[in-house]
Structure 1
């Protein structure tokens, strides 16, 4: 696939890096020559130094034959303009990164597709949504919803309280008559290897396990894992940037008074601005790295601590302090994706990354077959994809156990007519089903072939 990326910043470089690994034909455009030199020397891509809103530059990048044009510069105006021009010059699909999330809220009303913009993404909004979902599923490390929760991905570290420790997946499934959860990926403690489980795979203490659950599966999983769901009410947020502001606003708006939110912001000017814009949030002007300040603000009484400043190290250290003070749920924003491997070992419940969230949102346009949702599992080398089954798909009208599906992939569940169902061996896939598949990178092409 021929792809043009406008913007060699954090999101653009990360996208180019991931896509170049998959042998996509990537052209990266940026006015900053130094950014391009680094990208070109580290990635197998074509780099063009210039303005993505220049028609001459777009023609030089051969936009007329481009299947996907992605504008992810730091300027919302540049991204919108570049996408409009790219579409008029022949790009098949365009995606624009925006900062004003009103554009997403009113995209159907405004009709951005008429102007030539097919999709709008906001990494900050994606991060805020991820945080809210994690707070609603407080005992789990990772979470992702398919079709408004018809199926949900939940990540969990198994402790010695889990009743299925030492049992195979098949034996664990027999512990509840009508089970509503199923393991789809496992990472052993101290290992970077991702295992796609089979019926004979044994669950061990210390495993980080990702499950697919249908309605009620989260409660069953908590029961068998020996953990108790705790309601999160008191939340402390460190950092009043876009993510902190959006998270505070969203929690106050959607919770009907459920959440009590404190937000710590070091900038006096921004703190006053936030106080005006967030009347239902207690704004505290101060340095969140100051342990005395955190103690004065009763950090030990918080149910959740969310660190979303622009500094990854500050977010990690402050989250570790919060965990040490007894906070049940800690979430830290990090820029370095390599940090994901550290999250479970150092004690932070969840790390989130804007680049990865944006990449997940965009990646489904690159995958073959009718992919409607996609996420990469944090700290695991695996992807979770949702396909729509077409009449001519190889998988249509087939029983799962007869599919000869790759060993490094597994069908976790199916959404049919809005209802989520676990898909075991005797389940038959039919036209219109939305099939959720977990697979390692080595089997993605084979998995895609089942849904052409």
Structure 2
């Protein structure tokens, strides 16, 4: 597949990293020569310096025979014009644009993206995606990571194992026998900084970070078995009143149990905008690092603090200060993946990575076969892939034990005839089944080959 990626920032670089590693023909375009040089020096991609929305630049990038254009520059307008030029001048079949401004995303204006108006096939909103990810973290306070699959019937939980976890030093095969009715499966373990797909004989140890697929109805029991307790978030403090913080506050206001929300914003204009937009939440104008402001927000009585300013260091330090003042748990928005190892020593409970969230959203619309969802884990260490089994797929009609999955791949959940099934070696995959797999990054191309059908579904 020939792909042109416009924008070589964090998101563009990560998408290029994924796609070039899977033997796609990738060209990266950016008007910053340093970013283009970084991409070409570190990845197997071609680079071109120039403005992505200019027709001559797109032509030099190979737009005349490109399969897809991904517009992920920092400018919404450049991304929109790039898709228009790619469609009108070069007839590129698939166009994906990242748009930040909320006005472009309102349902009232959805007709804007029709092929006879502004031909964008997929619109990705980073702020909206990150807000949803933050809400998932809040809904599962005992886990450091949470995603949903199979239309919400299955959850992926990231769980940090402590010294008092009752499952330590027990082989996973034995856990399956002990909890035979539990619809849950450990698919990934991060130990000493390395992520791997465990085998049935492997044991778990204190300090491990594990990734578990569980039926949504069994999520609370799964957490309990691994030594975690669930609690409802009644009081939430949000530090940062930008698009993400405001979106989370709005969602919490409309939630069924309606937690008490206090939002802190250091910019007066943003604070006033948030105060006008929110009905039940209290908005405080001030610095989220200020002890007095935190105390005025009732940080010592809060069940959770969500730090979502546009500065990673502020989010980390505000989380630490909030926990020191008595916050029940802290969730930080962190763009730089190299800061993630600091979470444990700083006693920060969970994080949201906007880059990984946006990359996952874009990858979902790129994969071959009937891929319905893709989620990137850690610093692109692994992917969770949700896909439908097609009649022409090598998977169809085979038992899981007879399929030549790479060592770094595990089937974590399966939807068969509308019912969630915990996969076993004897489980047969049939046409129409939807599977969810954990795959280390190096094994993703092999998974795509297994999912490949006779015609690409784009």
Q: TM-score, normalised by structure 2?
A: 0.92
- 8 Å CA contact 2:376–2:382 kept in 1: the answer is yes
- 8 Å CA contact 1:411–1:423 kept in 2: the answer is yes
Partners of 1:64 and 1:343 in 2: CA distance: 46
Pick closer, same or farther for the CA change 1:121–1:328 going to 2, 3 Å: same
Pick closer, same or farther for the CA change 1:14–1:395 going to 2, 3 Å: closer
Partners of 1:49 and 1:252 in 2: CA distance: 45
Alpha-carbon shift at residue 105 of structure 1 (Å): 5.5
Q: Which moved more, 1:126-135 or 1:202-211?
A: 202-211
Instruction: Give CA deviations for 1:385-410 in whole Å, capped at 9, x if unaligned.
Output: 11210001111111112223222211
- The aligned counterpart of 2:163 is 160
Instruction: Give CA deviations for 1:149-205 in whole Å, capped at 9, x if unaligned.
Output: 1111001011233222121111112222311111000112xx122121121111222
Partners of 2:105 and 2:239 in 1: CA distance: 26
Alpha-carbon shift at residue 38 of structure 1 (Å): 4.3
Pick closer, same or farther for the CA change 1:155–1:198 going to 2, 3 Å: same
Query: When the two structures are aligned, how many residues end up with a matched partner?
Result: 449
- 8 Å CA contact 2:145–2:351 kept in 1: the answer is no
Pick closer, same or farther for the CA change 1:435–1:427 going to 2, 3 Å: same
SS of match in other structure, 2:339: helix
Residue 273 of structure 1 pairs with residue 273 of structure 2: yes
Partners of 2:108 and 2:437 in 1: CA distance: 30
- The aligned counterpart of 1:90 is 91
Alpha-carbon shift at residue 249 of structure 1 (Å): 1.5
Pick closer, same or farther for the CA change 1:13–1:441 going to 2, 3 Å: closer
Residue 181 of structure 1 pairs with residue 171 of structure 2: no
Partners of 1:16 and 1:400 in 2: CA distance: 32
Pick closer, same or farther for the CA change 1:306–1:405 going to 2, 3 Å: same
Instruction: Give CA deviations for 1:201-225 in whole Å, capped at 9, x if unaligned.
Output: 1122221110001132212212312
Q: Which runs of 5+ in 2 are unaligned?
A: 453-458
Alpha-carbon shift at residue 9 of structure 1 (Å): 3.2
Pick closer, same or farther for the CA change 1:124–1:110 going to 2, 3 Å: same
- The aligned counterpart of 1:110 is 111
SS of match in other structure, 1:174: helix
- 8 Å CA contact 1:151–1:415 kept in 2: the answer is no
Alpha-carbon shift at residue 297 of structure 1 (Å): 2.4
SS of match in other structure, 2:306: strand
Partners of 1:425 and 1:42 in 2: CA distance: 39
Partners of 1:394 and 1:14 in 2: CA distance: 29
SS of match in other structure, 1:216: helix
- The aligned counterpart of 1:237 is 238
Residue 48 of structure 1 pairs with residue 51 of structure 2: no
- The aligned counterpart of 2:455 is none
Give the 5 Å matches for 1:15-414: 15-88=15-88, 89-101=90-102, 103-104=104-105, 106=107, 110=111, 112-114=113-115, 115-188=118-191, 191-253=192-254, 255-256=255-256, 258-378=258-378, 381-414=381-414
Instruction: Give CA deviations for 1:79-128 in whole Å, capped at 9, x if unaligned.
Output: 12211221231212110111244655639952735242111101111100
Pick closer, same or farther for the CA change 1:22–1:326 going to 2, 3 Å: farther
Partners of 1:411 and 1:161 in 2: CA distance: 29
Partners of 1:21 and 1:446 in 2: CA distance: 12
Query: What value does the CA root-mean-square deviation take over the aligned residues?
Result: 2.2
- 8 Å CA contact 1:241–1:309 kept in 2: the answer is yes
Q: Which runs of 5+ in 1 are unaligned?
A: none
Partners of 1:271 and 1:102 in 2: CA distance: 19
Alpha-carbon shift at residue 343 of structure 1 (Å): 2.4
Partners of 1:402 and 1:35 in 2: CA distance: 45
Pick closer, same or farther for the CA change 1:448–1:20 going to 2, 3 Å: closer
Partners of 1:408 and 1:256 in 2: CA distance: 40
Pick closer, same or farther for the CA change 1:92–1:409 going to 2, 3 Å: same
Instruction: Give CA deviations for 1:237-260 in whole Å, capped at 9, x if unaligned.
Output: 11111111111122213x145221
Residue 4 of structure 1 pairs with residue 4 of structure 2: yes
Partners of 1:367 and 1:376 in 2: CA distance: 13
Pick closer, same or farther for the CA change 1:344–1:376 going to 2, 3 Å: farther
- 8 Å CA contact 1:180–1:215 kept in 2: the answer is no
- The aligned counterpart of 2:456 is none
Which 4+ runs in 1 deviate beyond 6 A?
Answer: none
Pick closer, same or farther for the CA change 1:380–1:280 going to 2, 3 Å: same
Partners of 2:227 and 2:17 in 1: CA distance: 40
